[in-house]
Structure 1
């Protein structure tokens, strides 16, 4: 049976957000609770999460934050490490299902009622979407749960290893296109698998990624990605990213032979031994 989490509706969440902007971390600790008078639950679908479970989840998150320097301001490396570890913790320990995790009101409750001190420590004076979950891809907790959900591979020795392939900004490029791409764990894992096999040193990897995702969006109406087996899907994705790399290099100062050499160095398999068609004399 899945767990149902309390939901803090926007009418109650927004005033708390504005109030908390003026409070210190120590003052926010005093506002921590496992309940709120206006919190609601969906009527069916599971058991309501217990206070004990919420307290346990909070303790795990606070302990993790303490390792990153909480309540002192963390350095960038500590922030990155904290986010990666928090993604795993939330996904593995919360008991949330995708249906529940799709609700921004649940993340608003976690950010403003259960863990406001952690929220405002990780993002001092945060913009609204970091805590209100008006956009889950930006929420302090929601974005991390979904990142873990999309890369999780239950059969692997390290089921969350793919979390380290892309940084937050790059992964958000995928999840922002979730209607066509980012909502499919099967496709996201394939994207990460293919991307991890590329050597993009010397290229603007962000530009390559954005162009690559745009090509996949154009393919999506004509190709059912989830019906393809892994080798076939990987081949399709490699072809698309190869086109993106080729297009980017075509606008560089390299000559044709240098471009071909660069392409072959990026795609290290037999398929790259052929000459890229547009490079033919």
Structure 2
């Protein structure tokens, strides 16, 4: 059973955001706290997180941010590196169950009470959904916890290695379809495994991924993905992504032979993986 975290409800979170989005990071550091008078907890479901645990969590997040240039603006690469580090750190340290992590009010507390300086450093003058928890695919911390949750593999030497396979925009395409696809870590891990096999140089990867996911959505009513073994599921996904690549190449001016050769390049790594399994 996981820990219960304070929740900052919308009535308190929204005015706080309107104030904080105009303040410098140094002032937000002074206002960071481990509690808020208006914070609430759900009545049942686990033990409340301790103040010491919240202090440790803040200390960890600040250290990771400083490694990426906090409190200075930093670079796009340094901010991306912070995202990946904070994803695995939050997932490892918070002891959250998915039901608690699905509450936007929990993430509003983290962004506006415990870690406001980190939140507004990561997204200066952000729109509300980056800190309020109204959309967990956009929240500065919530989206990263969920990415870690969906890719976590305890059997691997690096349980969070798959975080590096897709960027934020691409991963959001999967999570945005969470009702059919994104709520299944088993399926998400398979998508990432198969995607990591592809050589999509010269293609628009975002368009390929979008079409691939559409094909999986059409399969979802007929295939119980969770019931398939890794090997069988991977094979099923490879069929769908091959259909996507074939359809994409068919819309080009390439000859049939040129299309075939280009498809071979895309799936050259896939063939190596399959050969190694035989």
Structure 2: state its 5+ residue gaps.
273-278
Q: Which residue of 2 aligns with 1:168?
A: 168
Q: Which residue of 1 aligns with 2:232?
A: 232
What pairs with 1:1-281 in structure 2 (closer than 5 Å)? 1-268=1-268
Structure 1: state its 5+ residue gaps.
273-281
Pick closer, same or farther for the CA change 1:24–1:270 going to 2, 3 Å: closer
- What is the deviation of 1:268? 2.7
Secondary structure in 1 matching 2:63: helix
Q: Matched residues in 1 for 2:131 and 2:148: separation?
A: 19
Q: Which residue of 1 aligns with 2:276?
A: none
> What is the Cα-based RMSD across aligned positions, in Å?
1.3
Pick closer, same or farther for the CA change 1:270–1:27 going to 2, 3 Å: closer
Q: Matched residues in 2 for 1:245 and 1:159: separation?
A: 30
Q: Which runs of 4+ in 1 moved over 2 A?
A: 268-272
**What TM-score, normalized to structure 1?**
0.95
Query: Does the CA-based 8 Å contact 2:197-2:269 persist in structure 1?
Result: no
> In the TM superposition, what whole-angstrom CA distance separates every residue of 1:104-143 from its partner, at most 9, and x where no partner exists?
0000000000000000000000011000011001000000
- What is the deviation of 1:206? 0.7
| Residues matched between the structures, number | 272
- What is the deviation of 1:266? 1.3
- What is the deviation of 1:183? 0.6
- What is the deviation of 1:270? 8.9
Q: Matched residues in 2 for 1:133 and 1:241: separation?
A: 33
Q: Matched residues in 2 for 1:146 and 1:35: separation?
A: 24
